[in-house]
Amino acid sequence: QSALTQPASVSGSPGQSITISCTGTSSDVGGYNYVSWSQQHPGKAPKLMIYDVSNRPSGVSNRFSGSKSGNTASLTISGLQAEDEADYYCSSYTRSNTLVFGGGTKVTVL
Amino acid sequence: EVQLVDSGGGLVQPGGSLRLSCAASGFTFNSYAMSWVRQAPGKGLEWVSAVSGSGAGTYYADSVKGRFTISRDNSKDTLYLQMNSLRPEDTAVYYCARPLIGVFRGAFEIWGQGTMVTVSS
């Protein structure tokens, strides 16, 4: 159960777009459309931003979008805002009937 | 209001045991698989265990298999995590989490507030 691979940090200026990658294997990300993305601000519980690769829960801004190609999923934040500064985690269901998270990406708004 | 309230954390010596609880309210508890997710201090999220809505199916991360047992009491709308043979590396905030859709596949929409478990002598 190796963690999915995410960049440690990504930064951008207000109004810009950034993309966070999440790389797994054919046993997790590549094998299922069950990739999710969560946002976590310091000291808070995570918040679901994207599920099933590209679906947004009710109430989540349409500035957040998800996609997948092969074994790599991506989260794109467009029109970056100060409130988007947080840690972001991807996760995927696996062939072993388990769940695996990525190591997390710290997003900094410059 | 849909809510999860975690409890049961504390300080325990290596090799000791602890039972966490998660009280659910505001939704049909037995319609959802439930999970425990932990976060060590300053570290990322780690999925620990899941249980199906009926309780018949249980799933574990390799790191806790054989030491932790997940269970649920649908008559009390409560999720449990029995933790035995605790190790210092089990030190973390433990969250219970409910998925957006009932089956176990991640997509945790509702989270408890977390309960801190510290394993130290």
Chain B residues with beta carbon closer than 8 angstroms to that of A20: none
Closest CA to B70 of A96, A102, A98: A98
CA distance B121 to chain A (A): 26
Determine the residue among B2, B96, B108 to mutate to test chain A binding: the one whose Cβ has the most chain A Cβ atoms within 10 Å: B108
Nearest Cβ partner for B109 among A57, A91, A92: A57
- Report CB contact under 8 Å: A45, B111: yes
Mean pLDDT, range B90-116, rounded to an integer: 95
Cα–Cα distance for residue pair B115/B9, rounded to 1 Å: 5
H-run or E-run covering B109: strand B108-111
Cα–Cα distance for residue pair A41/B49, rounded to 1 Å: 23
Instruction: Give phi and psi for B30, each to the nearest 5.
Output: -75, 0
* A2 has pLDDT over 90: no
Nearest Cβ partner for B44 among A1, A98, A101: A101
Mean pLDDT, range B75-86, rounded to an integer: 98
Query: Could you identify the residue written with the tokens 């995927």?
Result: A92
Is B60 in CB contact (< 8 Å) with chain A? yes
Residue B84: predicted pLDDT? 98
Q: What is the DSSP letter of A55?
A: B
Chain A with chain B: Cβ pairs closer than 8 A: 68
* A72 has pLDDT over 80: yes
Instruction: Read off the pLDDT of residues B18-47 as tens digits, 9 standing for 90 and up.
Output: 999 999 999 999 999 999 999 999 999 999
Length of chain A measured in residues: 110
- The residues near B2 (Cβ < 8 Å, ≥ 6 apart) are B25, B26, B27, B98, B110
DSSP for A70-106 reads TTEEEEEE-S--GGG-EEEEEEEE-TTS-EEEB--EE
CA distance A48 to chain B (A): 5
Residue B102: predicted pLDDT? 86
Mean pLDDT, range A5-20, rounded to an integer: 97
